[in-house]
């Protein structure tokens, strides 16, 4: 085979690969929208579920998901920013940077079901919280940490040293430099990370399915030590009734709503990242 033929063949193969991926992508999104849209109407979104989910709507699942995820963000964000600041401003040697990277990426790589088990052992049993939506928020918050830490770190760390030096020269101490000079600039990066973390957290099932949620009979949690229903666990329960076409249809509807929420967070993150990039090019 001549060199030229090999080249053309190679290019064709990569082209086929791209088309394959594109087809898969179209299929996935297509299927979700095609099956989900018929299942959705105003009633679906605004009423509670009944008959193990085969009838009724997903109002409380939506509320539950949003609740658990917002609280997890509130718990996670301060800790993540603090860690990012420490990593950027207080850790000086490459060795420490590498070490902290290992720990952070390690945390990121932990399987989601292991997080669930961790929550089960520590919070539900040892600390005696029982099945609690708040524990779910804690666990999801822990899962979000690496994402927020790394984006915030990149954002703060990339601020040129001259800003720090000018601030210190004006008489601000280190902490004031951080809060008044660095954080405002790095904030959009942190928010981007937060939104991405939210997008992931809202779709998680395994970490919360046995520590924070219950399938039926739950509307709004009355207190901290109560379970909640969420969109992903609802899909799980419906998927296990896949032979029932009504349940299946509701599963698609719930999936579509979930995807829309995930996309909302992801697109916001993209949007903010873009704005930040075009701002910094001015």
Contacts of another protein in 98-157 (CB under 8 A):
98, 100-118, 120-122, 125, 142, 145-147, 149-151, 154
Smallest distance from another protein to CB 217, Å: 16
Smallest distance from another protein to CB 48, Å: 20
Neighbours of 241 (CB within 10 A): 16
Q: Which of residues 189-208 bind another protein (CB under 8 A)?
A: 193, 196, 199-200, 202-206
Classified as helix, coil or strand, 244 is coil
Q: Under the criterion CB under 8 A, does residue 255 sit at the interface with another protein? A: yes
Q: Taking each helix axis as running N to C, give the angle between helix 59-85 and helix 133-157, from 0 to 180 degrees, rounded to the nearest 10.
A: 40
Selected from 74, 170, 242, 260, the binder of another protein by CB under 8 A is 242
Smallest distance from another protein to CB 78, Å: 7
Q: Which of residues 5-64 bind another protein (CB under 8 A)?
A: 6-7, 10-11, 13-18, 20-21, 24-25, 28, 31-32, 35
Q: Nearer Cβ to another protein, position 54 or 262?
A: 262
Size of the site for another protein (CB under 8 A): 96
Give the C-alpha separation, 260 to 114, whole Å. Answer: 27
Q: Nearer Cβ to another protein, position 57 or 200?
A: 200
Q: Nearer Cβ to another protein, position 67 or 131?
A: 131
- Tell me if 253 sits within 8 A of 87, measured CB to CB: no
H/E stretch holding 55 reads: strand 55-56
Tokens 């249809």 belong to residue: 249
Find the Cα–Cα–Cα–Cα dihedral 189, 190, 193, 194, rounded to 10°. Answer: -140
Q: Nearer Cβ to another protein, position 203 or 221?
A: 203
What is the DSSP track for 21-34? HHHHHHHHHHHHHH
The stretch among 41-49, 66-74, 158-166, 239-247 that binds another protein (CB under 8 A) is 239-247
Length of the chain: 282
- Tell me if 88 sits within 8 A of 80, measured CB to CB: no
164 closest CA partner among 177, 175, 176: 177
The stretch among 43-51, 162-170, 219-227, 240-248 that binds another protein (CB under 8 A) is 240-248
Q: Nearer Cβ to another protein, position 67 or 273?
A: 273
């Amino acid at each position: 085979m001549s060199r030229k033929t090999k080249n053309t063949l190679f290019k064709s193969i990569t082209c086929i690969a791209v088309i394959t991926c594109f087809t898969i992508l179209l299929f996935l999104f297509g299927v979700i929208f095609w099956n989900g849209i018929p299942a959705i109407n105003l009633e679906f979104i605004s009423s509670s579920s009944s008959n193990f989910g085969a009838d009724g709507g997903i109002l409380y699942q939506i509320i539950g998901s949003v609740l658990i995820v917002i609280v997890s963000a509130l718990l996670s964000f301060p800790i993540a920013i603090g860690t990012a600041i420490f990593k950027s401003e207080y850790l000086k040697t490459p060795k420490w940077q590498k070490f902290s990277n290992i720990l952070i990426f390690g945390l990121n790589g932990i399987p989601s079901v292991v997080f669930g088990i961790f929550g089960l052992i520590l919070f539900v049993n040892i600390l005696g919280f029982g099945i609690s939506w708040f524990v779910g928020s804690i666990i999801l918050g822990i899962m979000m940490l690496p994402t927020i830490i790394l984006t915030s770190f990149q954002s703060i760390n990339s601020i040129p040293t001259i800003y720090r030096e000018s601030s210190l020269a004006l008489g601000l101490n280190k902490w004031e430099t951080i809060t008044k000079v660095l954080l405002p600039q790095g904030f959009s990066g942190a928010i981007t990370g937060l939104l991405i973390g939210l997008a992931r957290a809202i779709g998680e099932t395994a970490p919360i399915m046995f520590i924070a949620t219950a399938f039926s009979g739950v509307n709004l949690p009355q207190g901290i030590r109560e379970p909640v229903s969420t969109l992903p666990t609802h899909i799980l329960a419906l998927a296990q009734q896949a032979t029932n076409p009504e349940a299946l249809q509701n599963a698609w509807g719930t999936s579509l709503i979930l995807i829309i929420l995930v996309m909302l967070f992801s697109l916001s993150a993209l949007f903010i990242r873009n704005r930040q990039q075009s701002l910094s090019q001015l």
